[in-house]
Amino acid sequence: MPSSFNIEVSTGSSTPIYKQITDQVRMAVASGRLSVADQLPSVRALAEELVVNPNTVARAYADLAREGIIEARQGRGVFIIQKRKVFSRAEARRRLEPLMDALIGEAFALDFTPDELKDAVVNKLEQLQNEKKSAA
């Protein structure tokens, strides 16, 4: 696994552990910390590192595989693969909707103005772009 990427899980959260793993991998792929052909630890190795049940890790990997983010190659390991476009544009937009609601709602609650929010989003995207460039 690339040295810059570490999965961390915490107990006692509303998010189940397997979901924390999938979210973090997904986030890492999206932000470029993980790129195609990077290797993830085996189920057992990750389980022992995180001190969680291997079945939990296995379920996370299964979900990621179903979404097309990772692939298990027999005898060699688990690798990031090209994220295939599984969703239609409309479906993708529909999936994004609640997250946008959450973001905007939270921002207004914190007294951000719409302009401030837009600035923050743009800054974040730039930051990710830079990180991707430096990682490549």
Partner 1 sequence: MSAKDELVIHTRGLTRYFGATPGVYELNLDVPRGGVFAFLGRNGSGKSTTIRMLLGLLEPTRGEAEILGCNIRRLTPEIRARIGYLTEEHQVYGWMSVRQCGEFQSQFYPRWNDKIFRGVIDHFSLKPDARAKNLSRGERAGLCLALTLAPDPELLILDDPTLGLDPVARRSLVESMIALTRRADRTIFFSTHQIDDLERVADYVAVLDKSVMRACCRLESFRENIRQVRVQFAGKPPELPTIPGLLQVMRNGTSLRLLCVRYNDDTEHLLRTLKPLEIETSPVNLSDCLVSYLGARGEKSFILSEMEAHS
Partner 2 sequence: MKALIRKELRENLKFAVPGFLIFSLLLYNSYSAAESQPLVSPRFLGPVELVCNLFGLILGWFQVYPEKNRDLWAFLIHRPLTQTQIFLAKAIAGLMVYCIAMGLPMLALVVVASRPGQFASPFEWAMVWPVGGIFPMGAVWYFAGLLMGLRQARWYASRGLILIAALCIYMLAGIQPAGLPGFWQEPVMIIAGIVLFAAATWGAFQSCGTDEGQPAWGRRAVVLSLTVGLTLLGLCSQILFEVLLHGSLRSDFTYFQITKDGVICKVVEKADGSSEITDLSGSPLPDPNTRREASLADFDRLVAPGYPLNVDFGDQSQVRALLRPDTRFYSSCKTIDRIHWYWTRAGNLAGYDTSTRLLADTIKPDESVAADDHFLRAQMSSPTDPENSKQKSSVILATARHVWEVNLEGRKSLILFTAPDGDVIGGARSVGDLGFVVVTRNLIEMLDMDGKLIWKTTYKSSNPDAIWVRVSRLAGAQKYAVWLGPYQAANRNNEVEDRSYSQVLFVSGESGLISETTLPANKRYAAGLSFWLSALFVPPAPLFYFLLGWKGASLILLLTKISFGMAIVCALAGWWLGRRYQFSKGTQIKWAIFHLLAGLPGFIAFLSVQEWPARETCPHCKQLRVVNRAKCEHCGESFAPAQKDGTEIFEGLTEDCPIQA
Among 3, 37, 51, 109, binds partner 1 (CB under 8 A): 51
Asked if 44 is part of the footprint of partner 1 (rule: CB under 8 A), the reply reads yes
Determine which helix (DSSP H) or strand (DSSP E) holds 71, and give its type and residue range. strand 70-73
Q: Which of 4, 27, 36, 53 binds partner 1 (CB under 8 A)?
A: 53
Distance CA 40, CA 34 (A): 9
Structure tokens at 65: 């595989």
Burial 53-78 (b: 16+ CB within 10 A, else e): eeebbebbbebbeeeebbebeeeeeb
How far apart are the C-alpha atoms of 50 and 36, rounded to whole Å? Answer: 23
* Partner whose footprint covers residue 18, from partner 2, partner 1, none (CB < 5 to 8 Å by kind): partner 1
Q: Specify the stretch interacting with partner 1 by CB under 8 A; choose among 16-24, 31-39, 101-109, 116-124.
A: 16-24
Point out which residues bind partner 2 (CB under 8 A): 42-43, 54-55, 58-59, 61-62, 72, 74-75, 77-78
Query: Where does this chain bind partner 1 (CB under 8 A)?
Result: 11-18, 44, 47-48, 51-55, 59
